[in-house]
Each structure stands twice: as structure tokens, then as C-alpha cells.
Structure 1
Amino acid sequence: MKLSVLYFSRSGHTRDMAEEIVSGMNSVEGAQARAFSLDSIDEDFLRESSCVVLGTPSYLACMAGQVKTWLDTESGKYGLAGKLGGAFATADYVHGGGDMAVQGILTHFMVRGMLVYSGGGSWGKPYIHLGPVAISDDLAKYAPTFRAYGTRMASKALELFGA
């Protein structure tokens, strides 16, 4: 089963966390996950993916403008309806709006007809209520949470859609 992790990254932090999610996804038997920057998406792979996760740095307590533009203008051509969706963010500060950026992406995904998921508290620790957020000055600290999130998303996609 194909799973796509999309991201916009200016500094490389969001890209690094996307790769952690892909690592977690690929640890699940039957999952084939790949990460793509929004400016270099493998369109066929994305269309064939059962799960799509989108990541953004948080700017001014919101998603990056590039992510908002992609959601508003490009995302409609990929047949996202019915796919499993998730979101993640990076931020410079704990209270920098990463959770709001994640929530904004999830709202857009629901409007596109996606099924959104994070695992919430159902998997136990680490609790990931909406989607993981990493703080840029200590990315290594957050990497295990992002890998766990990837594992959870891939497991749910396989449960919902089969191999």
C-alpha cells in the first residue's frame, strides 16, 4: 500500500520530520511510503496513495502560505476524497502555533472529503492528539514521536484499506 508524506520546508526541519514519519510508515509490513516536497510531488504515487500526510512549518501561528496555496489550488487534482489524512508541523517555539497549523491542514483535508486520523490517545504514549509538532531547536527529541505517528498512520491505513 502506498502512503505519501508531503511537506513544505524552508530550513529543512519539516523535511527532516517528514522523513521520520516515512521511516515509521515503512516499518509496517505492506507499507510503501515516500516523502515529497510540495514542489516535487510524484503525482502518480500520490494519486495511488491510500494515506496522505501533510507537513508545514508554523508561521504566525498558522500553516505556511505555500501549504495553504497548495491546499486551495493544487490538492483538488489528486483525488484525496476517501483517503486517510494526517498532518504535522514544526515550530520555533512550544507556543508557536504548530497545533493550529496542524488543525488547519486537517480542516482542509476534511473539506476535501478525507478521513483524518492521528491515533489520539488510543495508542497510549506518546499521545498525539491532532498531529505531531517538533520544536526546531531539538528535533532529535521529537523524532521518536514522528516515527510512532508514521507507524500509527500506516497501521490504520492498512486496517481501513487492506494491503
Structure 2
Amino acid sequence: MSLKLVVLYYSRHGGTRALARQVARGIESVAGCEAVLRTVPELSPQQADGEDPHLTLDELKQCDGLAMGSPVWFGNMAAPLKHFWDQTTPLWLSGDLIDKPACVFTSSSTLHGGQETTQQSMQLPLLHHGMLILGIPYSEPALHTTSSGGTPYGASHVSGHQDKLSAEENQLAQRLGQRLARIASQLKENS
């Protein structure tokens, strides 16, 4: 039985999408786990939609875990992602996401662009849904040495206006995906 873990992201310039792909690689490195890459629609018709399909509420309801990513927008998650969560009240009322593991990731153009506050803003709806929040523990050596992205709240990327991830950013994003998949597998085995 394969576990389906949704990697939900919004990306304007590609940095968050690049992180999403690395989180998905980490998920799929765990036996029996499948990453399902999804995005959300743009709010403005002038913006082009992402490369991946849009997440539906039914897919979110059926998932075994969630990784969510957003670029930093003034220290918060991006409006299209927030708009998606504002529509999840039916799942909140039915408790469909309670006790499912979740993690977050983000990207910004500068090192002090608000990554940790953005990660915390993404965690808020997950907590309201009763999800189990996972971060990156300091047992990950790259968290101690990174000079670009990576926080205990989740994976991150400092773009400096380029989408290419550093070696540490790649590693930490994959480790976050692996941790999400391992915890989801353990929870499924014990249920």
C-alpha cells in the first residue's frame, strides 16, 4: 500500500518550485511513499499558472501527509496559498486532516527576507486543522553549516534572484521530505 504525500506549493519565480521538487525526491526515497506535486491557482488572471496541477480539497482530504511551500511575501505566505486554505473549512469541520503529519518550506530573495515568519504563517492553518507539524532537527549536520537556506522550521532557499539551490538547501529539503515520509509511514503502521 503506497502512501500519498502531497507537496503543495506556490511559486512565482521558481525557487519554491525547485524546493518542492527536492522535498518530493526525499519523500520518494522512502519505500512505499509517493510524492504528489500540486500548486494553487493564481489570484490574478495576468499571472501564468504553475507547471503542476491544482490541488483539490478531495486530494488534500485523502493524503497521508503534507509538505507546503510558499515564497516569502512580506514575512507571510503568498496570497494564493492563503486563499486556498481559506476554502478548507469543510475539511476543518469534519476533522479530515487531524493527526496527519505536515511540514513547510519557503524561499526568499535575501537571507533576512522573512523565511522563519513565513514558515510560521504557513504552520498556523495546519495547526488549526490538527495536523502534526514537523521541522528539521539540529541532528541534520547541514543545518549547522548552511550559509544560505535551511531553518529548524523547515527547508528554505535564498535565491539572490536565481532558482538554483545550494548543496545544503537541496540536502535539507530532501531530508525534510524523508522525515515527513518516515513519520507518515510510522503513523500508518500504528493506526
TM-score for both structures, normalised by structure 1: 0.89
Aligned with 2:11 (options 9, 12, 27): 9
| SS at 1:80 equivalent | coil
2:143 is the alignment partner of 1:129: no
Summarize the Cα distance change of 1:133–1:111 in structure 2 as closer, same or farther, 3 Å threshold.
Answer: same
- Which residue number in structure 1 is paired with residue 37 of structure 2? 35
Deviation per CA, 1:68-94: give whole Å up to 9, x if none. Answer: 2222x2233443222111111010111
Partners in 2 of 1:66 and 1:109 — Cα distance?
16
Partners in 2 of 1:146 and 1:75 — Cα distance?
26
Summarize the Cα distance change of 1:15–1:124 in structure 2 as closer, same or farther, 3 Å threshold.
Answer: closer
Report deviation, 1:115. Answer: 0.9
CA RMSD of the aligned region, Å? 1.8
Deviation per CA, 1:105-125: give whole Å up to 9, x if none. Answer: 11221111111112422x432
Report deviation, 1:157. Answer: 1.2
Runs of 5+ consecutive residues of structure 1 not aligned to the other structure: none
Runs of 5+ consecutive residues of structure 2 not aligned to the other structure: 42-53, 144-150
Q: Which structure's residues are more often helix, by fraction?
A: 1
Partners in 1 of 2:75 and 2:130 — Cα distance?
25
2:82 is the alignment partner of 1:65: no
| SS at 2:154 equivalent | coil
- Which residue number in structure 1 is paired with residue 177 of structure 2? 150
| SS at 2:184 equivalent | helix
- Which residue number in structure 2 is paired with residue 76 of structure 1? 89
- Which residue number in structure 1 is paired with residue 48 of structure 2? none
- Which residue number in structure 2 is paired with residue 53 of structure 1? 67
- Which residue number in structure 2 is paired with residue 140 of structure 1? 165
Count of aligned pairs: 161
TM-score for both structures, normalised by structure 2: 0.77
Summarize the Cα distance change of 1:26–1:42 in structure 2 as closer, same or farther, 3 Å threshold.
Answer: farther
Report deviation, 1:97. Answer: 0.4
